[in-house]
Structure 1
Amino acid sequence: MFERFTDRARRAMVMAQEEARDHNHPYVGTEHLLLGLISEEESPAVELLAGLGAWRAGIRDRVERALTRGTEPPRGHLRLTPETKRALEDAQRESVQLGTDYIGPEHLLLGLMGQQGTIASAVLGSYGLHLQAVRDGIREPAARDATSSANDFFGRFTDRARQALSEGEKSARKLNHNHLGTEHILLGLFAVEGVALTALHNLGISHDAVRDQLLRTAGFGTKPPAGPIPFTVRAKKSLEMALKDALTLGHNYIGTEHLLLGLMRESEGAGAQLLRGFAAQHQVRDEVIRILNAPAPAPEPPPVVVGREPEIQRIMQILMRKSRNNALLVGEEGTGRTSIVSGLAQRIAQGGVPAGLAEVRLRAVDATTAARETVEDPDRTVLFVDDVQPWDADALRALGRGKPRIIAVTDPGTFTELPDLGAYFQTVPVSEPTHDEAVGILKRLRGEYEAHHQVTITDDALDAAVTLSARHNTGRVLPGKAVEVLDEAGARVRMTDGAAQTVDARHIAELFADQTADRADRAADGPSVDDRYIWAMS
């Protein structure tokens, strides 16, 4: 049988084994095979599923929710469960019945759908998929065209729109509801920054008010949902309405604003009924249109990084590699790890990078969420995961195995707990900058703090912030602790001296003098170090 497998079907089997190992399972179940099938974006099985309304990120999320992770990594050969064996046998039969002389991912999908009572069949069933519909999608060219069209529809969703749907499902679970309706999508929109959230806030509609009203009308469910949560008919209809509104507005994507408009268009849904308790349908639509037509604010330029040329050059070199082209910045909090990535982003925006990185865009993400999402144009996208923690390990491994490329940031303590990440990431050590480098960084940040505190900050103040924080705040590192000192001094001057004042070295030194005043009072051997510094700067 296996000799009839296509290359993609073989890769799906290999990835199924990888998924089993990642979850510490000594067997390959139908759930692992389903994850293996959706691991390749351009697979016929993935295209079929997307065309029928089941996109990759949602499938993975629902499978992960149903899985229980093992306690120990498996050793040796992984056995196939009886259900997986029957799925492979059914895949062979489906191939023969469809008149093909090979077994591809689409046939493996049919085999999985025939195994009732398994995680894979439950997840696929939650999307309302039927075995005959998938067969027709394989057999009929017209059905393939419809699949492609539907795939284009779900491909139009922005990352924030997908996140809103995911947050909606979380809300349904918290309420013990066994369906994902328009009311839950509405709650999900409150959890994601975007036009929809801005419009709702402008209309005086809050998450808590909507949730309280939903509890009064629907209440809590009797028990938590055990498996994947299916969309209601009205929720699906609202997504179709969202597409219509997007096209009406001349947009080639579906964002949170279109989801909100779609909820209102599906007027019989619980989401629209909840909204009508706070604002009329035309008010919601008018507010969304007003926001969309407002001129976008000029983006703030990212801070320039100085003294970090070796680190930036190393990251660029890693990103341009063919393999192990993910970078992991390891350094203590406060050493400017994130600002190094900001400096790289600025260089990309200004065209100051090699041709291989000229069209790349950096996108900050959460590790767990990113591991479940499909990234558009992965070859020209680099994901940035800040402050990686030990519990992010599985998500980071999943991201590191494929595209897009990753830049992650963590501290030495966490790094020692994740030694196997070296198989996917190359380490970039980030040490504390020198005195001059730290002063240079403060000079670049000075404008932000002057604008915030409405003060003028002198060069001497920057030098004093670095010198004194390095001398006395030994438990922290530069430039972070110097930035904290500068911020604190700016706040003090604004409070005591009023606006449009100057922060100089004297104010920085006085800040440290106050912090050590008790010790200085008890000392009998002369003035404190900070007092001497005040006189030295006079």
Structure 2
Amino acid sequence: MNADKLTTKSREALISAQQIAAEHSHQEITGLHLLAALLGQDDGLVRPILERAGVPLDALKADLDQKLLSRPRVEGGEPYMGRELSQTLRLAEKDSAARGDEYVSTEHLLLGLVAAGGAAGELLGRHGAETGRLAAAVEAVRGAQRVTDPDPENKYRALEKYCLDMTALARDGKLDPVIGRDEEIRRTMQVLSRRTKNNPVLIGPPGVGKTAIVEGIASRIAAGDVPDSLRHKSVLALDLGALVAGAKYRGEFEDRLKAVLEEVTSAEGRIILFIDEMHTLVGAGAAEGGQDAANMLKPALARGQLRCIGATTLDEYRKHVEKDKALERRFQPVFIGEPSVEDALAILRGLKEKYEVHHGIRISDAA
């Protein structure tokens, strides 16, 4: 097998398998050592795939440890790759080619272990990791993504990594109630329901409650209290900080955002992306030599494949967004003012109980 065709995670797993064999004084590197290495990758894909397939990871790990301890120990000499592991790599490469992938990733190694049989394959099968269930789990985790570079993991489950599902939080009762903003919520939903130019941008001073309005929309979607055009939608808040964090190499930020946009567009309109501090998109990522985030959004916005809610202040909107005419054309401003005194009192009364529970105190109306 050509080692250049292994992804970074696959190479790390094989190196780790050799180290595990050496630590146990095992002469032969087997599928069991590779499985232990794959399960040890905290940020890898194998554990999420096995969880998706319904495999009890703790029980699998306990049985695997027991099998490794029961193997004969031989002191001296370097561990060598056995026939079972060689067969696993051949089958993994075959699976990669069948899927149209250009590299052998860790999910291919996992499927190779099952296909090769051997002690690792039998152990996986005993815990419910048979080929059909694993293949379905791989499709669910990977989606439509193909392995076209040595570091594909950043492109999988991008929405889980870089977005927060506000609709799910609303269903779980984890969002505060939104009080006294019915008119602003109605106007924002009206823009979202348009056929064209259906991307509202909430413009108002810091702390005025722009995010609360989006939370109000998410809560109404969760409760089914929305027009038909917004039913069964999900509001996901983009975490721009997480996208930028740790992006060391040229194009890494670009790849992450591209993966997010691909998942959003593949949802075929079921996702509404909320971008707080929208002005920070202009120039984000460009310092490393790639496109900035705003330019990456424009094609999807222009084709109507991406529905967005932005939020920013009036000064930042004029300074960054208005100057970019192509970006400005895609958004409809919705101006958010401070609540009236009556509305502010209603908001305080509505939130009073949550603060009382949190702090273990009583708050009187006079306070």
Relative contact order higher in (CA < 8 Å, ≥ 6 apart): 2
TM-score relative to the length of structure 2: 0.48
Higher gyration radius (CA): 1
Q: Which has the higher helix share?
A: 1
